[in-house]
């Protein structure tokens, strides 16, 4: 995960790339989420080699005071542009709808075009705009009854 989360370009929409302690904390937080919520960000494994190349999964996020289940994704830079985030996000969407929520969101900085494209390709649309960490973010969403044919 350090090869993903400590990469300055991958983390350009975050306050800063993570140092070693930040990466360890990220993993610990997700293990806590598995225990508490039953889900979190999971390892993204390349099927052809078994290598970990990122994460994708479902986390609980506060949106305007309400808990929403978010699909999130981070891919190692040398694997960008192959449809891997879209494949993983689509699988997490279907798994999320089968077990955890009737609406899923993705909270994305407007400048983050690749992330917005992934959200759009799995059928999400902009629901509203929120401020997080003093920065505007788009909240993409999709409801369970909107997933046919995507
Ligand atoms: C967002 C991210 C996970 C996408 O991973 P990926 O495996 O490359 O995604 P995909 O290949 O499935 O799809 C990427 C889409 O973004 C598009 N894209 C890539 N760079 C782009 C750019 N600069 N402007 C517009 N679209 C862009 C691709 O063309 C593709 O869309 P298309 O299929 O319509 O052509 C990856 O860029 C990443 O890890 N970014 C940093 C972490 C991050 O920002 N995570 C999301 C936080 S909200």
pLDDT tens-digit readout, 119-142? 999 999 999 999 999 999 999 999
- Mean pLDDT over all residues of the chain? 97
CB neighbourhood size of 60 (10 A): 15
Q: 55 has which bridge partners?
A: 43, 74
- Is pTM beyond 0.75? Reply is yes
Distance of CA 74 to the CA centre of its chain: 7
Q: How far is the CA of 34 from the centre of ligand 1 (A)?
A: 26
Among protein residues, the one with the nearest Cα to ligand 1's atom 5 is 85
10-residue mean pLDDT series, the chain (150 residues):
98 96 98 98 97 98 97 98 98 98 98 98 98 96 83
Q: How far is the CA of 82 from the centre of ligand 1 (A)?
A: 9
pLDDT in tens, 45-63: 999 999 999 999 999 999 9
Delineate the domains of the chain, giving CATH numbers in brackets.
Answer: 2-146 (3.40.630.30)
Residue 36 vs residues 1, 12, 24, 31, 40: alpha-carbon distances, Å: 22, 29, 18, 9, 9
Contacts of 20 (CB under 8 A, 6+ apart): 2, 6
């Amino acid at each position: 995960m350090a090869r993903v989360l400590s990469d300055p370009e991958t983390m350009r929409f975050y306050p800063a790339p993570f140092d070693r302690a930040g990466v360890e904390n990220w993993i610990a937080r997700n293990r806590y989420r598995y225990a508490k919520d039953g889900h979190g960000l999971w390892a993204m494994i390349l099927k052809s080699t078994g290598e970990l190349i990122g994460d994708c999964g479902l986390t609980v996020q506060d949106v305007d005071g309400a808990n929403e289940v978010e699909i999130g994704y981070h891919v190692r830079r040398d694997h960008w542009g192959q449809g891997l985030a879209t494949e993983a996000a689509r699988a997490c969407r279907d798994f999320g709808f089968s077990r955890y929520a009737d609406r899923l969101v993705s909270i994305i900085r407007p400048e983050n075009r690749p992330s917005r494209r992934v959200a759009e390709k799995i059928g999400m649309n902009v629901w509203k705009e929120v401020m997080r960490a003093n920065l505007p973010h788009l909240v993409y969403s999709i409801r369970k009854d909107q997933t046919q044919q995507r």
